Amino acid sequence: MRAVKAENLTILYEEQRAVEDVTFELDEGETMLLLGPNGAGKTTLLRTIAAFHREYTGKLEVFGRKPEEARDLISYVPQSHVLNERVPLTAIEVVAMGGIYRKGFVHFKIPKEILQKAEEALGFVGLAHIKDRLFRELSGGQKQRVLLARALISDPGLLLLDEPLSALDPSARVEVANVLDKIKHESGITMIITTHDVNPLIDIGDKVLLLNRRLIAFGTPSKVLRDEIIKTVYGPLARVIPIEGKLFCITGDTHLHRHGGGGI
Ligand SMILES: Nc1ncnc2c1ncn2[C@@H]1O[C@H](COP(=O)(O)OP(=O)(O)OP(=O)(O)O)[C@@H](O)[C@H]1O
């Protein structure tokens, strides 16, 4: 089944075009890496698929429905730095909130069945042992894994992740990339992952969409990640090098300014 279909999609902010004329299709179970430099429109496209932003022209479908009619099937994981950490929630409480919000009401006491699902989800991301630790005291990689558990608890068909590896050190990037790999192979959930740095995720990408306000290229990693294509976005020094059968992308896009991360 088709999970996401966009046809001549143009996304606007008060009549200003942020993303223009994008066409792509993603099948159920596929993972798409949404790649592009600062301001390319990655978050805008992701938030529009999630039905958070609704000013667009063209066609956009999620599992054959308009995004706002498919909300129950979609989980969205925002960039971690947008979360309010002043509330002293434990890891398991943060995960359980994914189940509570989905039901449309807030309890003071978390229902037992949701706590149980939250524990299972924490186990899936390898963090059952830290369930009672305060979320704000966890490492960056652990926080991101807790947020993944929170997104999984509602059994989504489509998981949308905004820069899940940004602001993480290299070992935490590997830790989170491994969990994304596990989600892909064990759950079959369709995923769209925005990223400045495609390298840690290249193994799980069935498709890559290179965006720079317009669609520059869409297809399998080997089709999109070519010197002549990435140079059009990242300049003449950008290169793709095959290392031991794996592609490695040098784009010079360090993404240092806004999120403190570091690509290559
Ligand atoms: N709420 C908004 N109102 C008006 N313009 C916006 C809004 N959000 C984003 N934009 C504009 O839309 C364009 C695309 O921004 P977007 O954040 O989607 O890009 P991005 O590829 O995710 O960038 P980054 O990698 O830096 O996060 C930019 O020109 C941005 O200024």
pLDDT (tens digit, 9 = 90+) per residue, 163-176? 999 889 889 999 99
Q: How far apart are the first and last CA of the chain?
A: 36
The DSSP code sequence of 77-133 is E--GGGS---S--BHHHHHHHHHHHHTT---SS--HHHHHHHHHHHHHTT-GGGTTS
Mean pLDDT lowest for which of 102-106, 149-153, 159-163? Answer: 102-106
What pLDDT, on the 0 to 100 scale, is given for residue 89?
86
Domain 2-83+157-259: CATH superfamily is P-loop containing nucleotide triphosphate hydrolases (3.40.50.300)
d(CA 250, CA 264): 6
The pLDDT of residue 256: 44
Determine whether the shortest distance from the Cβ of 42 to ligand 1 is under 6 A: yes
pLDDT for 27: 97
The predicted pLDDT at position 261 comes to 38
Tell me what pLDDT residue 260 has: 37
pLDDT at 259: 39
Alpha carbon nearest to ligand 1 atom 28, residue? 39
Binning pLDDT at 50, 70 and 90, where does residue 110 land?
Answer: confident
Q: Give the 3-state secondary structure of residue 142.
A: helix
What atom of ligand 1 comes closest to residue 194's alpha carbon?
Answer: 22
Using alpha carbons, select from 248, 201, 212 the residue that is nearest to residue 45: 212
Q: Which helix (H) or strand (E) holds 11?
A: strand 2-13
48 pLDDT higher than 50: yes
Distance 41 CA to ligand 1 centre (A): 6
The residue whose CA has the least distance to atom 4 of ligand 1 is: 13
Q: Where are the domains of the chain?
A: 2-83+157-259
Q: Shortest CA distance to 3 belongs to which of 55, 46, 61, 51?
A: 61
Using CA atoms, how far residue 246 sits from 199, 201, 221, 222, 239, in Å, is: 9, 11, 10, 10, 14
**Distance (Å, rounded) from C-alpha 204 to C-alpha 143?**
21
Q: Which residue has the tokens 């730095």?
A: 81
- 240 — pLDDT class (breaks 50, 70, 90): very high
Compute the distance from residue 213 Cα to the ligand 1 centre, in Å. 10
Considering the entire predicted model, what is its pTM?
Answer: 0.91
Q: Is the CB of 195 under 6 A from ligand 1?
A: no
Lowest mean pLDDT among 144-158, 209-223, 243-257: 243-257
Which pair of structure tokens corresponds to residue 181? 């790999």
The pLDDT tens digits of the residues spanning 54-104 come to 999 999 999 999 999 999 999 999 886 556 677 788 999 999 987 765 444
| Residue 164 near ligand 1, beta carbon < 6 Å | no
Secondary structure (DSSP) of 16-65: EEEEEEEEEEEETT-EEEEE--TTSSHHHHHHHHTTS---EEEEEEETTB
| pLDDT value of position 204 | 94
